[in-house]
Chain A
Amino acid sequence: MTPFTTLAAIAAYYPKPNVDTDLIIRVERCAQVPRDQLGPYAFEMARFRADGSENPDFVLNRAPWREARILVGAENFGCGSSREMAVWALAGLGIRCVIAPSFGQIFFDNCFQNGVLAIRLPADAHAALAKRASDPKDCTFTVDLAAQTIDGTIRFDVDPLRKTMLLEGLDEVGLTLSRAEDIAAFQAADRARRPWAYAPGA
């Protein structure tokens, strides 16, 4: 996984609440487009009109936000489907950090699996950043994961384990594989407690 340490980049504000992962990436793209080619399809229903032309009202189609690497969303960002392609598509657009007052839980978890930092902020801090991200002269933020700050002033929480994984670019599967003995011991003890749980169709 690509490590995440600090990111100084343009932030775009997309004010729509309840942005679902169907809107971030359409399901037929998930079925038909390879992982590293999803970027052009991110937000396609909002970025493009029915005739295929760019929608000039969509924030990521406007300067300077076309270069945005930080996305400030609204409440319940990334709700809906579990499709990790939503994160792959955002990453394909260059987005490495998503900031919102709340997130769809599966999307939030998926971000951390892909070196994308998802930050939950209280309403007032979020509103201040949303306002700044909307101002073309003030929309560059510096996100420092080690210090857990945005521009040195706004503090954010991050789960310690996930923080380490992002900072060091560690792979969660590798860490769990190193606990193979714990898993075997758990299964042996649990099998005695719940034999039925381990023998479907036996």
Chain B
Amino acid sequence: MKTLFAKVWDAHVVADLGGGVALLHIDRHLQHDLGGGRSLKTLRERGLKVRNPELTFATADHVIETEPGVKGSRHDWAIKLLDSLRTETRAAGVRLFDVGEDGQGIVHVVAPELGITLPGLTAVCGDSHTCTNGGIGAMGFGIGATEIVHVLATQCLVQSRPRTMRATFDGERRAGVHSKDLILALAGRIGTAGGVGHALEYAGPAIRALSVEERLTLCNLTVELGAKIGMVAPDVFTIDWLRGRRFAPQGKAFDAAAEQWLALASDAGASFDREVVLDASAISPQVTWGTSPEDVIAVDARIPSPIDDAKREALAYMGLEAGAPVAGTKVDRVFIGSCTNSRLPDLRAAAAVVKGRKVARHVRAWVVPGSVATQRAAEAEGLHEVFRAAGFEWRDPGCSLCVGANGELVEREARCVSTSNRNFVGRQGPGARTHLASPVTAAASAIAGAIADPREFLS
């Protein structure tokens, strides 16, 4: 009796190196503009070659500007990184999805969207949110610069086997509650160190009921729990979602693969090193108040009293007072985007809140679709018109305000409700104050001009 994690891990062990350490085969390597060029250059300068360029894919996302029409960057340092990515991928024979091209977008949005990542595959990228790919049952994890070179040269990595943890969400979630709220509630419950040393599996009826896109959101925040890997077992939703995708197997090959994918689910009675159970029906829309994803409360709750110096410091940085309701806190910026929440269903849900309403006059609100494909699909449905009519800026795909690596920043002491994954000090810009929330909570807050409960906006 094996867990989903154990089935995937065991199928990739090239050599057992002892002490729980394995040489693991890596099926997909994803590269982006912040580190891709540099790592390929390092490899080349060491006299090494990319072992499997056909299993390696690159895209531009971190350093590009998303202002409509810029299509790249006007910053010298970013232009250099983009040029280096282009030159090095061409020399190495690695497929690059360049700015504005079909297939370009945030790496963790495009990899599953294109069927580059698939259930049961190991996938790595020099980005901690590679765990997102767990939403389709892939074992994705983030790696550092040296490990990137390791994978390029050998298509393998030396990895310590983590323990296993299952987070079960019982019950049925209520209206206005997104998978973002489920995972933030888990961060609040177990803390940002709660998953350290573990590979997570998300299970239970509330998870099975999630769309594939919402599962990707759920798994995206795994690293905010301290774990590298978080997965949802592939099921018929996953298979239907993947069928026909550009880089997925086609026809009979797809059916044969799908049969293997359905067998990956944890066996009944498989045991986990740790179990945590939440009641999804008791979870309200969530919003963070501090500078760690674990600093989270229901949007209709009051800001808690700090329990130690670190939390006191967080409250001061955020310019908030304990005991006050978090809803009604005036905001300056709203960001709907990032590898967490920039997929089509995210944009549809936000648009439904926004439709026929206006963004508060003092708020600058952005929607940044996660990929060129998402942007086109949303525009085909007219979502861009809904957002624009309400006063949102509809931008080109990229990481944008999530990461602060592209010149797009939230101003010092400005308050931003963001659908991204990190509310760290300075993450969206020096002194910027970030409140993490779901797309509908962000949309509702843009309209209200203050942190708002999305349930008051549901028609």
Interface residues of A (CB under 8 A from B): 15-18, 20, 22-23, 26-28, 30-32, 45, 50, 75-76, 79-85, 87, 102-106, 109-110, 113-114, 159-161, 172-173, 175-177, 179-180, 182-183, 186-187, 190, 193-202
Q: Does B110 contact A (CB under 8 A)?
A: no
Contact A109 B18 (CB under 8 A): no
Chain A residues with CB under 8 Å of B260's CB are: 194
Contact B310 A16 (CB under 8 A): yes
Given A104-B226, A105-B197, A106-B144, the answer on whether A196 and B253 have CB atoms closer than 8 Å is: yes
Q: Interface size for chain B: under 10, 10 to 19, 20 to 34, or 35 or more residues?
A: 35 or more
Contact A114 B146 (CB under 8 A): yes
- Tell me which of B19, B144, B431 contacts A113 (CB under 8 A): B144
> Using a CB-CB cutoff of 8 Å, which residues 110-153 of chain B contact chain A?
115-116, 118, 120-121, 126-128, 141-147, 149-150, 153
- Tell me which of B19, B28, B431 contacts A50 (CB under 8 A): B431
Chain B residues with CB under 8 Å of A83's CB are: 144
- Tell me which of B115, B196, B405, B427 contacts A30 (CB under 8 A): B405
Q: Does B373 contact A (CB under 8 A)?
A: no
Q: What is the chain B residue whose CB lies nearest that of A195?
A: B253
- Most-contacted residue by chain B among A79, A113, A200 (CB, 10 A): A200
Given A50-B431, A82-B144, A183-B155, the answer on whether A196 and B118 have CB atoms closer than 8 Å is: yes
Chain A residues with CB under 8 Å of B253's CB are: 195-196
Contact A113 B147 (CB under 8 A): yes
Given A22-B424, A197-B27, the answer on whether A110 and B193 have CB atoms closer than 8 Å is: no
Interface residues of B (CB under 8 A from A): 11, 14-15, 17-21, 23, 25, 27-28, 34, 48, 51, 54-55, 57, 62-63, 77-78, 81, 115-116, 118, 120-121, 126-128, 141-147, 149-150, 153-156, 158, 160, 162, 192-193, 196-197, 223-224, 226-228, 246-247, 249, 253-254, 256-257, 260, 292, 294, 309-310, 313, 403-405, 412, 422, 424-427, 430-431
Contact A186 B158 (CB under 8 A): no
Contact A159 B160 (CB under 8 A): yes
Contact B145 A84 (CB under 8 A): yes
Contact A28 B196 (CB under 8 A): no
Chain B residues with CB under 8 Å of A84's CB are: 144-146
Chain A residues with CB under 8 Å of B27's CB are: 197-198
What is the minimal beta-carbon distance from A176 to any residue of chain B, in angstroms?
A: 4
Contact B424 A82 (CB under 8 A): no
What is the minimal beta-carbon distance from A192 to any residue of chain B, in angstroms?
A: 13
Contact A76 B17 (CB under 8 A): no
Chain B residues with CB under 8 Å of A114's CB are: 146
Q: What is the chain A residue whose CB lies nearest that of B21?
A: A161
Q: What is the chain A residue whose CB lies nearest that of B76?
A: A32
Alpha-carbon distance between A106 and B120 when the two chains are bound, in angstroms:
22
What is the minimal beta-carbon distance from A43 to any residue of chain B, in angstroms?
A: 11
- Most-contacted residue by chain B among A173, A180, A202 (CB, 10 A): A173
What is the minimal beta-carbon distance from B377 to any residue of chain A, in angstroms?
A: 20
Chain A residues with CB under 8 Å of B249's CB are: 196, 199, 202
Chain B residues with CB under 8 Å of A113's CB are: 144, 146-147
Chain A residues with CB under 8 Å of B246's CB are: 201
Alpha-carbon distance between A168 and B68 when the two chains are bound, in angstroms:
52
- Most-contacted residue by chain A among B115, B150, B224 (CB, 10 A): B150
Given A76-B226, A197-B27, the answer on whether A110 and B144 have CB atoms closer than 8 Å is: yes
Q: 4 closest A-B pairs (Cβ-Cβ)?
A: A84-B144, A113-B146, A76-B193, A110-B144
What is the minimal beta-carbon distance from B428 to any residue of chain A, in angstroms?
A: 10
Contact A31 B77 (CB under 8 A): yes
Alpha-carbon distance between A195 and B249 when the two chains are bound, in angstroms:
9
Contact A109 B77 (CB under 8 A): no
Contact A76 B430 (CB under 8 A): no
22 of the cross-chain contacts (CB-CB < 8 Å) are A16-B310, A18-B192, A22-B424, A22-B426, A26-B426, A31-B78, A75-B193, A79-B226, A84-B146, A106-B128, A106-B143, A159-B21, A160-B18, A172-B146, A173-B149, A177-B48, A177-B153, A179-B14, A183-B25, A183-B51, A187-B25, A190-B11
Contact B150 A176 (CB under 8 A): yes
Contact B228 A106 (CB under 8 A): yes
- Most-contacted residue by chain B among A28, A159, A193 (CB, 10 A): A28
Alpha-carbon distance between A81 and B146 when the two chains are bound, in angstroms:
15
- Most-contacted residue by chain A among B77, B313, B424, B426 (CB, 10 A): B424
Contact A172 B424 (CB under 8 A): no
Alpha-carbon distance between A87 and B223 when the two chains are bound, in angstroms:
18
Other than A27-B404, A200-B115, A200-B116, give 17 A-B pairs with Cβ distance below 8 A. Answer: A16-B310, A18-B294, A23-B424, A27-B34, A27-B405, A28-B404, A76-B192, A82-B144, A106-B143, A109-B143, A110-B144, A113-B147, A173-B149, A176-B23, A176-B158, A179-B14, A193-B11
- Tell me which of B34, B228, B247, B426 contacts A200 (CB under 8 A): B247
Chain B residues with CB under 8 Å of A30's CB are: 34, 405
Alpha-carbon distance between A141 and B77 when the two chains are bound, in angstroms:
41
Q: What is the chain B residue whose CB lies nearest that of A88?
A: B145
Contact B310 A17 (CB under 8 A): yes
What is the minimal beta-carbon distance from B77 to any residue of chain A, in angstroms?
A: 5
- Most-contacted residue by chain B among A16, A22, A106 (CB, 10 A): A106
- Tell me which of A22, A23, A160, A173 contacts B153 (CB under 8 A): A173
Chain B residues with CB under 8 Å of A45's CB are: 425-426, 430
Contact B405 A161 (CB under 8 A): no
What is the minimal beta-carbon distance from A51 to any residue of chain B, in angstroms?
A: 12
Alpha-carbon distance between A18 and B309 when the two chains are bound, in angstroms:
13
Given A82-B128, A173-B149, A200-B116, the answer on whether A186 and B25 have CB atoms closer than 8 Å is: yes
What is the minimal beta-carbon distance from A148 to any residue of chain B, in angstroms?
A: 14
